[in-house]
Chains A and B, each alone.
Chain A
Amino acid sequence: MNAKTAARLDFAIEFRGVTYYINDIPARPIVSGVSLTISRGETLVLLGRSGSGKTTLLKLINRMLVPSEGQVFVEGRPTTECNPIRLRRGIGYVIQEAGLFPHFTIAENIALVPTLEKWDSVRIAARVDELLRLVSLDPAEFSTRYPRELSGGQRQRVGVARALAADPPILLMDEPFGALDPVTRAELQREFSALTRRLGRTIVFVTHDIREALLLGQRIALLQAGHLVALAAPDDFLHLDQREVQAFTACLDSSDGVAS
């Protein structure tokens, strides 16, 4: 094994010269020439405006999308060489509004991946209880309810529990708290931040909210029009002098720029 391959295995995720464009139109790439490594257990925030390519980058990790150029490595293997179903079952995924199945109870929603993986029912039930407690929901009260009977914040907690169900080492989160009211959002951000420290997963977190990025990220990757323009730890990020970084940090001074 050469040095280059060995180095790869230290990272949970690696983007190597990744470009992505739709319908074979290379002139208008959504993501362009991104190289980036994410260490095991790290929480990396992808920050950027709408349309900057952050969600696309996230979907390239679990092979919802395939790079047009370059390669994405997950646990040292190019995603194009992985079975997409197997790959995805090993990666938790949380989206805005949680994307819970309305015809499944909360317990059935959380049990989705374990059920697909054919765990026995005793083990599934125990896991569901454990996860509900982890996200501060009482199993006795919530297991049998349907998503529509829950508040937005509660649904988002269930979304996190569902993503963690099969104990995936990697968690992808696409603006998970974006649709919540500011108070609930702050509450969940605090809890989630404590939870991630405890669980030690590799997390890739997409947001357009600079405050959320500073609070949750160990590193922040700033995207602009598909390019990676800055990559730094929160403390250093604030002192970068790129124009796009300053456009985001400027939001911190005004109270209205964030709550969108």
Chain B
Amino acid sequence: MTPWNFFQSHRSEIFYATLDHLTLVVIAMALAIAIAVPLGMLIVQHRRLRTIALGIASVFQTIPSLALFGFLIPIPFIGGIGRRTAIVALVLYAQLPILRNTYVGLSGVDPAILEAAEAMGMTTTQILLRVRLPLGLSVILAGIRTATVITIGVATIAAAIGAGGLGTFIFRGVAMVSDAVILAGAVPAALLAIFADVLLGQLERALKVV
């Protein structure tokens, strides 16, 4: 069977797997951003917390993704087989790029601008929300973009713990030793990643303040 034939005959199955995959990624990214961006804003002011938070996020990044899925299964409440566990793992995985870029973006503002802001009588919170955040937004978004591309890839492995998505085809194809089946999962996943990368790249440029 050629990849094209397989694709033709499993069109709707592939379509729904892509949708599943996308849902998994969107939920995971939404949670990851909701955690990492506020945390990044917090660690700009707190040095001790910064070392700890970036350290923990780095550790998660070094755990091989398949192993991380495996480790989570026996953990009560967040573990088990299925989508919930996969989302937890993906959120943990996406922390480092978003957290690091949020910190870099917020702390990389021209010191002269920060000095002026402080001297004009802006409070720390006002400086964070009205100066650091708008000026660091494109760097933060670059981190979100990296994390999204990584998450789309890693999410294929989530099929190993029964989370569904495009990884289903990849694992099935590996078991069947069929390139056609592997490609049915890999090609849409790659296209999703490219699409997300281009889209977020454009947003990043639009938000960049010269």
Residues of B with C-beta under 8 A to A162: 120
Residue in A closest to B209 when the chains form the complex, CB atoms: A103
Q: From residue A77, how far is it (CB to closest CB) to chain B in Å?
A: 16
Residues of B with C-beta under 8 A to A86: 121
Are A64 and B118 in contact, with the CB atoms below 8 A? Answer: yes
Interface assignment of B119: CB less than 8 Å from any CB of chain A = yes
Report how far A162 CA is from B119 CA in the complex, Å: 12
State which residues 91-140 of B face A: CB under 8 Å.
Answer: 110, 112-113, 115-123, 126, 131, 134-135
* CB-CB under 8 A for A95 and B131, given A89-B121, A148-B210: no
Are B121 and A95 in contact, with the CB atoms below 8 A? Answer: no
Residues of B with C-beta under 8 A to A122: none
Are B120 and A88 in contact, with the CB atoms below 8 A? Answer: yes
Residues of A with C-beta under 8 A to B123: 85
Report how far A88 CA is from B120 CA in the complex, Å: 6
Report how far A101 CA is from B112 CA in the complex, Å: 10
Are A116 and B126 in contact, with the CB atoms below 8 A? Answer: yes
Are A103 and B119 in contact, with the CB atoms below 8 A? Answer: no
* CB-CB under 8 A for A116 and B115, given A103-B209, A148-B210: no
Residue in B closest to A97 when the chains form the complex, CB atoms: B112
* CB-CB under 8 A for A99 and B115, given A113-B121, A116-B126, A148-B210: yes
Interface assignment of A102: CB less than 8 Å from any CB of chain B = yes
Interface assignment of A31: CB less than 8 Å from any CB of chain B = no
Residue in A closest to B130 when the chains form the complex, CB atoms: A101
Classify the secondary structure of A's interface with B.
mixed
Interface assignment of A62: CB less than 8 Å from any CB of chain B = yes
Q: Mark A97-128, 1 if CB is under 8 A from B, else 0.
A: 11111110000000011001000000000000
Q: Mark B166-210, 1 if CB is under 8 A from A, else 0.
A: 000000000000000000000000000000000000000000011
Report how far A98 CA is from B117 CA in the complex, Å: 11
Residues of A with C-beta under 8 A to B115: 64, 95, 99
Are A89 and B120 in contact, with the CB atoms below 8 A? Answer: yes
Q: From residue A2, how far is it (CB to closest CB) to chain B in Å?
A: 32
Specify which of A89, A91, A98, A112 lies most central, judged by the most chain B CB atoms within 10 Å of its CB.
Answer: A112
Q: From residue A175, how far is it (CB to closest CB) to chain B in Å?
A: 12
Interface assignment of A93: CB less than 8 Å from any CB of chain B = yes
Q: From residue A37, how far is it (CB to closest CB) to chain B in Å?
A: 22
Residue in B closest to A96 when the chains form the complex, CB atoms: B112
Are B209 and A95 in contact, with the CB atoms below 8 A? Answer: no
Specify which of A86, A96, A103, A148 lies most central, judged by the most chain B CB atoms within 10 Å of its CB.
Answer: A103
Give which listed residue, A88, A100, A101, A102, contacts B121 with CB less than 8 A: A88
Residue in A closest to B122 when the chains form the complex, CB atoms: A116
Give which listed residue, B117, B119, B122, B126, contacts A62 with CB less than 8 A: B119
Residues of B with C-beta under 8 A to A101: 113, 116-117, 131, 135
Residue in B closest to A113 when the chains form the complex, CB atoms: B120
Q: From residue B66, how far is it (CB to closest CB) to chain A in Å?
A: 43
Q: Mark A50-81, 1 if CB is under 8 A from B, else 0.
A: 00000000000010100000000000000000
Q: From residue A29, how far is it (CB to closest CB) to chain B in Å?
A: 22
Residues of B with C-beta under 8 A to A87: 121
Give which listed residue, B120, B122, B126, B135, contacts A103 with CB less than 8 A: B135
* Subset of 23 A-B contacts with CB under 8 Å: A62-B119, A64-B118, A64-B119, A86-B121, A87-B121, A88-B119, A88-B121, A93-B116, A97-B112, A98-B116, A99-B113, A99-B116, A101-B113, A101-B116, A101-B117, A102-B210, A103-B134, A112-B120, A112-B122, A113-B120, A113-B121, A116-B122, A116-B126
A residues adjacent to B (C-beta < 8 A): 62, 64, 84-89, 91, 93, 95-103, 112-113, 116, 148, 162, 172
